[in-house]
Amino acid sequence: MPKKPVNSNMVPLDGLGIIPERDAGKPPILDIRHLCVDFGGLRAVDDFTLLIGRTEIAGLIGPNGAGKTTVFNLLTNVYKPTQGRILLNGQDTRGKSMHELNRLGIARTFQNIRLFAGMTVEDNVKVGMSHGYSDGVFTDMFRLPGWWRTERRQHVRALELLDLFDLTDKADSLAGNLPYGDQRRLEIVRALASEPKLLLLDEPAAGMNPSETHELMDNIRMLRDRFDIAIMLIEHDMNLVMGICEGIAVLNYGKIIAKGTPKEIQQNPVVIEAYLGEEAAV
């Protein structure tokens, strides 16, 4: 697939963060202000403020235990924030249930794969299509004509999505029987099935070898270009993060210690210190 060049110049917005220049005319897909969450006495995420543009690929990095996955859990309402607010596509996410948030346009993958292992690959993708295809209970139970129409649409769409990751020929396998790399890819497909505007990927390259990671990088860019969505990812593989992310936030002990372009992050002494320890930074 020929790659279309993407203008990755970052511009400041409202003095709160940077978003890609191409997204500057539109409000950011994600607008997080002063987000905090306490677990008992521990402040796991502290004053987290971040903007993500509508077609941005954003990275969230930081040492283990920094609170990255906690941020994802806050964004998807798995946890309730103690303070602060999240605007997803301009809408406050507070008090929304998880499936309502999915409807508003957010979908995610998980650090430890959470596929429906006992269901087929295709059914996993179809579960991702739970909304937007709702027939009534009776249409469903008695498989009235409407049911078959929906079924055909879902089937075609599921195969299209699976094809993006070369999983079409495994559509009938049980998800739990797929090799590890395919399970990771299937999680992304399942998340895409709900037609998100913002896709959260939690360590998508974990456990992948360098050539698989390289392919994944191409795939992530392809998803953004094809579906015109924003993607936010947590990743430890710095080649991947520096290679595809446009804006990066670095988290340490629940606080953002740096935000910027890959180049800025790589040269930031605070980041180097957080990653390598004090002596190395001197």
Partner 1 sequence: MLFLSQCINGLQLGSIYALVALGYSMVYGIIRLLNFAHGDVIMIGAYIALLTIGAGVNPALAVVLTIFGCVFISVLIERVAYRPLRSAPRISLLITAIGVSLLLQNVTQLLFTANTRPYPGSAIIPSKALKLGGLSLSLTTIVTILVSVGSMIALHLLIQKTRMGKAMRAVSEDTGAAQLMGIDINRVISVTFAIGSALAGIGSVLFCCRYPVVNPNIGSMLGLKAFVAAVLGGIGSIPGAVVGGFAIGFAEVLVTALGFSAWTDAVVFAILILVLLFKPAGLLGRGVAEKV
Kindly list the residues in this chain that would bind partner 1 in the complex (CB under 8 A).
Answer: 76, 78, 97-99, 101-103, 107-108, 110, 114-119, 123, 126-131, 133, 135, 137, 140-141, 143, 147, 150, 190-191, 193-194
Q: Please, which residue, 183 or 252, has the CB nearer to partner 1?
A: 183
Token pair of 23, please?
């997204």
Q: Please, which residue, 147 or 253, has the CB nearer to partner 1?
A: 147
| Nearest-5° Cα angle at 212, 209 to 217 | 120
| 120 vs 190: CA distance, rounded Å | 12
- Give the number of other Cβ atoms within 10 Å of residue 7's Cβ: 9
Environment class of residue 247 by beta-carbon count within 10 Å: exposed (0-12), middle (13-18) or buried (19+)?
buried
| Nearest-5° Cα angle at 138, 135 to 140 | 50
Question: Cβ 140 to partner 1, closest distance in Å?
Answer: 5
H-run or E-run covering 19:
strand 17-20
Question: Cβ 262 to partner 1, closest distance in Å?
Answer: 29
Question: Cβ 181 to partner 1, closest distance in Å?
Answer: 19
Q: Please, which residue, 115 or 274, has the CB nearer to partner 1?
A: 115
Query: CB–CB of 220/214 below 8 Å?
Result: no
Instruction: Tell which residue, 252, 263, 247, 282, has the closest CA to residue 18.
Output: 247
Token pair of 91, please?
């809408």
Q: Please, which residue, 58 or 115, has the CB nearer to partner 1?
A: 115
| 50 vs 35: CA distance, rounded Å | 9
Question: Cβ 14 to partner 1, closest distance in Å?
Answer: 29
Q: Please, which residue, 133 or 263, has the CB nearer to partner 1?
A: 133
Question: Cβ 43 to partner 1, closest distance in Å?
Answer: 22
Question: Cβ 172 to partner 1, closest distance in Å?
Answer: 14
- Give the number of other Cβ atoms within 10 Å of residue 173's Cβ: 15
Q: Please, which residue, 100 or 218, has the CB nearer to partner 1?
A: 100
